[in-house]
Amino acid sequence: MAFGHQREQGRRMLLREIERHGRIPRIDLSEVTGISRATVTTITADLLRDGLIQEIPREADADMRRGRPRVDLKIDGSAHMVAGIKVSDTSISLMLLDFEGTQLAELEVPMDKGAKPSAVLAERIKEATTSLAALIGKSLADLSGIGVGLAGVVDAQNGTVYWSPSLQDSNINFRDILSETLGVPAYLDNDANLVAMAEKTFGLGREHSDFIVVTIESGVGMGIVLNNQIYRGTRGCGAEFGHTKVQLEGAMCRCGQRGCLEAYVADYALVREAASVGLIDADVPAEHRIEVLLAAAKNGTPMAEKIVQRAGRMFALGLANLVNIFDPELIILSGEQMQFDHLFAQEVIEAMRTSIVQIDKAPPDVVIHKWGNLMWARGAAAYALDFVHEMAAKDPNHDAV
């Protein structure tokens, strides 16, 4: 049993290193992992047998004229396929990746706005994923896993959604509902965590071990990476930046509590306040109301300016609190609202910097990354790919060892 566990750990480690390097010879794998060359040869032979990796011949080398040509090992992209899904207010964004992380297809499917029963949302996701797979002539049965990002308070470890603006139900195991509906293992997480996963795997966080992603869409989310790991808290619902309190007995948040940061900076909060003072007519389509408010502020309408400026001050206060608590290397601002500049204007960033602990060292960089919803979906796919790698590391031929 101990040997079988050790072998599984070796498979997992070698798969990870091959994935990380893209292409790598066996001798280098031994050096970077500390696993003996003989064991590397044995385990990689198993991985080749299982169709998880490939041998890629190197180009002719002047020093390798004699003897067996050296080969690199790489992940076999055809071994598995995963989907990543981001559920938004009015759409489902999807991306298909192979086992190597190469994008195979992408799709955005419109969806009626508003919270839905869990069974209904699961069916919508199934329909959209079926359409995604069909783009390359595949079906749901061809997928090894599906990662799903959902706004709200989500415990990724046990698949529970305590609350989400996308669901009418609360305190439910939505992961199991999805897995049963799809017939494919589903992996659920807060959508902001999956943006952090995308930044860590593909984006601006690749060179940083500690960074924070703040997402600004219809709500405010946050993903935290500490020591190269996503931090989720002991209950799986940490990093709820949008629901930190900035005003005692303040404005009503859609989570049901008062005084949350989101209740002052999210688009629905700004639109709600603007409508209450007559700045937005009822006949303005919902999807354009935030634009109307921000245009009024830029044109010098006093009440619109006041609403937007207060949102900026609240956001700067929230960012300063993040810096004072975590002292990250980098803060990345991402999401749909990056098309507007009211929350990342220079004066907002400067207000944050004046509110943090001052030492003789530069504050963390704050950068804007204007990726769209497909970035979130790609993060969800990378999340699913992690689980599929774990499953692939288990050697079915040595379960009894």
pLDDT digits (tens, 9 = 90+) for 34-44: 999 999 999 99
pLDDT band with cut points at 50, 70 and 90 for residue 400: very low
What proportion of the chain, given as a percentage, has pLDDT over 70? Answer: 92
Q: What is the DSSP letter of 152?
A: S
Cβ atoms of residues 332 and 199 within 8 Å: yes
> Among 87, 58, 66, 225, which Cα is nearest to 146's?
87
Dihedral sign for Cα atoms in the order 317, 153, 375, 112 = negative
Neighbour count for residue 108 (Cβ, 10 Å): 18
CA distance 32 to 35: 8
pLDDT (0 to 100) of residue 82: 97
What H or E segment, with its residue span, contains residue 71? strand 71-75
Cβ atoms of residues 398 and 165 within 8 Å: no
CA distance 125 to 314: 35
Cβ atoms of residues 329 and 294 within 8 Å: no
pLDDT band with cut points at 50, 70 and 90 for residue 28: very high
Q: Determine the straight-line distance between the first and last CA of the chain, rounded to whole angstroms.
A: 5
Collect contacts of 393-399 with beta carbons under 8 A, ≥24 apart. Answer: 393/8, 393/11, 393/12, 393/15, 394/8, 394/11, 395/4, 395/7, 395/8, 395/11, 395/46, 395/50, 397/46, 398/4, 398/7, 398/8, 399/4
Residue 105 corresponds to which tokens in the numbers above? 């297809």
CA distance 92 to 86: 6
Residue 308 corresponds to which tokens in the numbers above? 């937007």
CA 262 → CA 219, 221, 289, 332, 352, distances in Å? 6, 9, 17, 18, 17
pLDDT (0 to 100) of residue 401: 38
CA distance 119 to 48: 40
Angle at 262 between CA 259 and CA 266, to 5 degrees: 135
Residue with token string 């990689």: 44
pLDDT of residue 66 exceeding 80: no
What average pLDDT does this structure show over 117-144? 97
Cβ atoms of residues 263 and 273 within 8 Å: no
pLDDT of residue 62 exceeding 50: no
pLDDT (0 to 100) of residue 189: 93
The DSSP bridge pattern shows strands 91-98 and 103-110 to be antiparallel
pLDDT (0 to 100) of residue 198: 87
CA distance 282 to 321: 36
pLDDT of residue 208 exceeding 50: yes
What average pLDDT does this structure show over 343-354? 81
pLDDT band with cut points at 50, 70 and 90 for residue 104: very high
Cβ atoms of residues 97 and 75 within 8 Å: no
> Among 24, 52, 74, 96, which Cα is nearest to 394's?
52
Dihedral sign for Cα atoms in the order 58, 62, 63, 69 = positive
What proportion of the chain, given as a percentage, has pLDDT over 90? Answer: 45
String of DSSP letters for 232-271:
--TTS----GGGSB-STT-SBPTTS-BSBTHHHHSHHHHH
CA distance 299 to 199: 35
Side-chain half-sphere exposure of 52, counting CA atoms within 13 A: 21
pLDDT of residue 232 exceeding 80: yes
CA 238 → CA 38, 142, 381, distances in Å? 43, 34, 22
What average pLDDT does this structure show over 119-147? 97
Residue with token string 């997480």: 189
pLDDT (0 to 100) of residue 145: 97
Q: Which residue has the higher pLDDT, 398 or 35?
A: 35
pLDDT tens digits for range 261-303: 999 988 889 989 898 888 887 787 877 888 888 888 889 899 9
pLDDT (0 to 100) of residue 277: 86
pLDDT (0 to 100) of residue 123: 97
Cβ atoms of residues 106 and 377 within 8 Å: yes
